[in-house]
Structures are given as C-alpha cells and as structure tokens.
C-alpha cells in the first residue's frame, strides 16, 4: 500500500504541508514526559489544525481512556477532538460518526482487547471509509497495543509467551486489513513474545512479521518506508528466502521448524522499506 497526500479541499481538510502516516505503536507509549510518539501523531494529523477522532472501543473503560487521550491532544493544541465511543456494531453506520470520519485529519485507536475492537468495527461502513481515507493519504491513523494488533489481515488475538514456537501457542483471527501484508505483535520484548510471533507467522510466511516494543512505534510513510520511533526496538522477520517449515504437518504442541529466516532488529532512527525488503541504518542518507 502506498499512501498519497492530497491537497487541501472541502472534502479533505488536511493541511497540504502535512505528511500523513500510519503509526503502529507497541503499547505503553509515553503519555507524561516527552510524548514523542503521541506528538508525532498530532503533528502528522495537522498539528494545530488537527481534527482528531479517538476510537477507544478496545478498552473495557472506553469513556475513561478516551478522555485521557483527548486531554493529551488538547494540551498539544489540536483544533478539535472527538471520541467515537462505539459499543455496538450498529454504531458503525451512525451518520454522525461517519461525518466525524469525513471531517477528521487523524484517527487514534487505543489499547484493550483487539477481538472486541474488530468485532465492533470490521466490515462496517465506518471502518470501510476509514480504510479508504487512509489508503488515499487523506488522514493519519495510529493504533496502540490492541489498536496495533488489528492492522494486518491476519491478527494475533491472544496466546502465551516464553515457550518454543508451536501452533497451539497463538490464537489467530481476522484483523482490519489496513496493511494486509503484515502480522503485528505488541508489547513485544517486554512480554517475551518472539515465540508467539513466530508461531503466528509460521502459517502465513508470505506475510512480514513485525514485533513492536512498548513506547516504540513503526511509522509507515507514504512510499513504503517504515521509520522507528521511541525507546525500544521493532523486530522484523522476513521469510522470502525460507527453505523449510514443518508448520503444515506438526502437531499443535510440537516445536516448529523455520529455516533460513531473515531477522532485523531496528531501533530509533532506523528504517525498513516495505516494498524493497531492506533495512536502513539511521546514518543512511537515502535509499537506492
């Protein structure tokens, strides 16, 4: 997916100087001190011209978490902030909510339960319009924790940590498909989820597996470049050169084999090109 920025118009209120992006955040982003990741989202949504829609539906306390993020973006100086407290799928057809999506320049999906979030949003007119506007580069989109997990077509819905990779370790479901080519896991090294990500990835090796640490963001630029922001790392596993896996034949609790994977560990300032499948050091000046 390549995002295109369009100039400002009545249908597209985004300031023409703003570069939209999709920000996939590993959870527990700094909300108190530098707020680097949240400030980047605010900036990519238009800064003082930002009209932000917060979707806290993944949370068990959506009103509380929605107000928390609303206060943060108010303090940064956003022009307007709306909380879309969606608790029933029928609200995905609500004309008032749909108008907010038409007017906004940025959408932020909070953490919580990714199954709840997908259950409320998937295949609704509201979600389809969000997907369209993101694809056209009309708005920035961010998701943290559960809001990050839903970004791919295949989604990690749950599972365990700290074991060897095996098919029983992870529960899979359908995500929202913003970037169908990726599988995302969050709170990654903080919760020892490498085996879980590999277990999810083993059945879908045509995808790119991405593990994102807490207070860390994989920022997807318009041209397919992923930039890393934050305190931790982004782990990328690429199976384009995979030579063998036993995933199709193994018992659910049996260890998985995955031969000849390519692994990248990226820290703040590093990058990865989604279409060229190359990692870029923070000292690099350009991609050839």
Residues serving a catalytic function are: 145, 187, 214
Please state whether beta strands 262-266 and 234-238 pair in parallel, antiparallel, or not at all (unpaired).
antiparallel
Whole-angstrom distance, CA of residue 201 vs CA of residue 211: 11
Q: 23: closest CA among 227, 182, 169, 219?
A: 219
35-44 burial by CB neighbour count: b if 16+ within 10 A, else e? bbbbbbbbbb
Whole-angstrom distance, CA of residue 61 vs CA of residue 254: 38
DSSP string, 4-60: -----BTTB-S-TTPPP-EEEE-S----SS--HHHHHHHHHTTGGG-EEEEE-TTSS
DSSP E strands, 66-181: 80-83, 106-109, 140-144, 154-159, 170-174
Dihedral of CA 106/110/114/119: which sign?
A: negative
Whole-angstrom distance, CA of residue 54 vs CA of residue 84: 6
How far is CA 38 from each of CA 54, 122, 179, rounded to the nearest angstrom? 12, 25, 21
């Amino acid at each position: 997916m390549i995002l295109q920025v369009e100039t400002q118009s009545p249908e597209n209120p985004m300031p023409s100087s703003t570069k939209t992006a999709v920000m996939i955040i590993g959870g527990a982003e700094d909300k108190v001190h530098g707020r680097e990741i949240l400030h980047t989202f605010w900036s990519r949504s238009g800064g003082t011209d930002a009209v932000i829609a917060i979707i806290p539906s993944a949370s068990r306390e959506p009103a509380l978490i929605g107000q928390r993020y609303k206060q943060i973006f108010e303090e940064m100086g956003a022009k307007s902030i709306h909380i879309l407290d969606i608790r029933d799928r029928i609200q995905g057809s609500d004309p008032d909510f749909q108008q907010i999506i038409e007017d906004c320049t940025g959408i932020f999906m909070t953490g919580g339960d990714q199954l709840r979030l997908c259950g409320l949003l998937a295949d609704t007119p509201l979600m389809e319009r969000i997907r369209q506007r993101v694809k056209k580069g009309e708005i920035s989109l961010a998701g943290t924790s559960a809001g990050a997990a839903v970004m791919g077509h295949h989604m990690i819905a749950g599972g365990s940590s700290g074991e060897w990779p095996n098919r029983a370790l992870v529960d899979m479901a359908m995500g929202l498909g913003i970037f169908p080519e990726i599988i995302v896991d969050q709170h990654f090294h903080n919760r020892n989820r490498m085996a879980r990500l590999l277990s999810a990835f083993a059945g879908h090796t045509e995808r790119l597996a991405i593990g994102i640490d807490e207070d860390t963001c994989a920022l997807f630029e318009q041209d397919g470049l992923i930039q890393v922001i934050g305190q931790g790392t982004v782990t990328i596993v690429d199976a384009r050169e995979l030579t063998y896996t036993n995933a199709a034949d193994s018992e659910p609790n049996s260890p998985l084999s995955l031969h000849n994977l390519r692994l990248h560990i990226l820290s703040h300032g590093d990058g990865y090109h989604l279409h060229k499948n190359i990692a870029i050091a923070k000292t690099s000046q350009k991609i050839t």
